[in-house]
């Protein structure tokens, strides 16, 4: 019976330590915002893209999606990809149980049918020119730098409007 109480006490202490460790970790940065107005963000991106002669790259996914978060981290941590992203106006559109952004995604020809994350390229007028199923950019448990770079280079304003 003593061993039972010892194990129970050990188990409770372990749970308490785990809870304290989790509480001390900084919260993960939100990439997708369910409360955001996706239509308004796209309208602002169109204005800025037209002024700066850029295309718009739209990442669609959610904070619940490990591959969405992995792609965002991959783009931010890779200097060459981060530089290529500067050729675009970047918008993140949330898809989650809190906000599926159905009206906006319907206007973008329902890109969620490809799974998440999915990327949509719009020209500076907001016209859709490409939808990319990101599974073709994957490699192992991550993304392939050369494939992602080739994709980003292929759809810039300067390449399309030469």
Residue 162 has a pLDDT of 83
Dist. CA 72–CA 78, nearest whole Å: 10
Residue 7 has a pLDDT of 52
CB neighbours of residue 31 within 10 Å = 19
pLDDT tens sequence for the chain (162 residues): 566 554 545 555 554 555 454 444 445 689 999 999 999 999 999 999 999 999 999 999 999 999 999 999 999 999 999 999 999 999 999 999 999 999 999 999 999 999 999 999 999 999 999 999 999 999 999 999 999 999 999 999 999 998
Are residues 123 and 63 in contact, defined by beta-carbon separation less than 8 angstroms?
A: no
Q: How many helices and strands in the chain, by DSSP H and E?
A: 7, 6
Cis amide linkage into residue 159, ω under 30° from 0 = no
Dist. CA 61–CA 33, nearest whole Å: 10
Cα of 71 vs its chain's centroid, Å? 6
CB neighbours of residue 138 within 10 Å = 16
Residue 2 has a pLDDT of 60
Dist. CA 29–CA 13, nearest whole Å: 29
Looking up tokens 């898809």 gives 95
Residue 11 has a pLDDT of 53
Dist. CA 26–CA 156, nearest whole Å: 35
């Amino acid at each position: 019976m003593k061993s039972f109480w010892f194990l129970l006490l050990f188990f409770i202490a372990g749970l308490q330590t785990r809870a304290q460790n989790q509480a001390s970790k900084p919260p993960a940065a939100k990439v997708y915002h369910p409360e955001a107005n996706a239509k308004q963000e796209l309208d602002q991106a169109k204005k800025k893209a037209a002024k700066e002669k850029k295309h718009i790259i739209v990442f669609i996914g959610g904070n619940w999606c490990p591959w969405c978060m992995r792609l965002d981290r991959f783009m931010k941590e890779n200097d060459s990809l981060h530089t290529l992203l500067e050729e675009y106006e970047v918008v993140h559109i949330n898809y989650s149980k809190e906000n599926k952004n159905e009206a906006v995604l319907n206007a973008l020809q329902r890109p969620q049918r490809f799974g998440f994350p999915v990327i949509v390229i719009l020209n500076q007028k907001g016209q859709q020119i490409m939808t990319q199923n990101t599974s073709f950019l994957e490699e192992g448990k991550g993304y392939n730098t050369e494939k992602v770079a080739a994709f980003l280079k292929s759809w810039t304003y300067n390449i399309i409007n030469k």
